[in-house]
Structures are given as C-alpha cells and as structure tokens.
C-alpha cells in the first residue's frame, strides 16, 4: 500500500515513506513504505528480529528513522522537536506495547488515565467506561496490574 502525496492526509492516519533504521552495522528497516488507513486495524507479524518493533517505534514517533519520512496525517514528524513529539504522542497516538509497561503501584484506572494526567487533563467518565467495557476490564478498575 504505497501512500501518495496527494491523498496521504485524507487517506492515511500514518504513513512511512522509504523509512530505514540502522543500529550500527545492523539494518532493522531498509526503505520501508507503508500507509495505515484511517479507521483500520492492522496486525504486524513476523519472526523475532524481523523489525516489527523498530517499524512501530518509527511509525509512532518513539524513534526517529535513520532515513525516510514518517507522517501523522499530513504532519511530517521528522521536523518536530522532542518536546513536540512527546506532546503529539500523548495527545494523538495510542500504542499498546508487547510488554505492558504498567505502573505496578497504580490500579487499572490510574494506569489508563496516566497519559491524560501527565498532560494536565482529566478523563471523560463516559469515554473511560466505554474503553474498559470494550476491552473486558469493566469491574476491574480498582485492581493492581499484578492481580
């Protein structure tokens, strides 16, 4: 699925164009181009070491690629300063890590709402109820991650 310049902002939520990422002599991504359509669900699968995490880290702005362009809608994330990237990730990008990165001393509700709290905002109760219902966590908001 090759993104095109004219339709990227309207067609793709996130697009990568000719993205490469190297760590020393290891090339994790080599000129990868892909577009994630708005409202779509995409599974990234492959063997260990195939570049899945690197791909997602570049697509989400967690890592800057060695080469290429990553866009969120029509916004080129490569031109953003680190503080702008942090704000963008907090406000516009959802990411579920393979290792959950939950705060062990916080209950489920506080773990879910932590990014909002760090951004100086409060969670909308209707939104929170909908999210926990959809993922089957309703009734477990007071539990700690270890439970």
pLDDT of residue 14: 94
Closest CA to 38 of 61, 62, 64, 7: 7
Q: Do 27 and 20 contact (CB within 8 A), yes or no?
A: yes
pLDDT of residue 96: 65
The pTM for the full model equals 0.68
Asked whether residue 16 carries a pLDDT value surpassing 90, the answer given is yes
Q: Name the token pair of 28.
A: 């994790």
- Are 21 and 85 in a shared domain? yes
Element (H, E) at 10: helix 8-11
Taking alpha carbons only, the member of 32, 27, 28 closest to residue 14 is 32
Three-state DSSP string of 46-113: CCCCCCHHHHHHHHHCCCCCCEEEEEECCEEHHHCCHHHHHHHHHHHCCCCCCCCCCCCCCCHHHHHH
Asked if residue 21 has pLDDT above 90, the reply is: yes
- In terms of residue numbers, what domain contains 146? 101-147
pLDDT value at position 41?
A: 81
Same domain for 16 and 80, yes or no, is: yes
pLDDT of res. 115: 83
Q: Is residue 125 assigned to a domain?
A: yes
Q: How many domains does the chain have?
A: 2
Residue 29 sits in the same domain as residue 64: yes
Tell whether the model's pLDDT for residue 35 goes beyond 90. yes
């Amino acid at each position: 699925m090759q993104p095109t310049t004219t339709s990227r902002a309207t067609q793709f939520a996130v697009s990568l164009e000719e993205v490469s990422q190297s760590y020393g002599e290891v090339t994790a991504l080599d000129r990868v181009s892909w577009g994630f359509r708005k409202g779509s669900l995409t599974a990234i699968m492959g063997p260990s070491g195939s570049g899945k995490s690197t791909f997602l880290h570049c697509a989400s702005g967690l890592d800057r690629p060695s080469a290429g362009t990553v866009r969120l809608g029509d916004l080129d994330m490569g031109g953003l300063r680190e503080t702008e990237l942090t704000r963008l990730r907090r406000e516009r990008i959802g990411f579920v890590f393979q290792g959950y990165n939950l705060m062990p001393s916080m209950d489920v509700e506080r773990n879910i709402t932590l990014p909002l709290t760090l951004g100086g905002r409060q969670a909308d109760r209707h939104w929170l109820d909908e999210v926990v219902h959809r993922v089957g966590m309703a009734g477990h908001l007071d539990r700690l991650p270890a439970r």
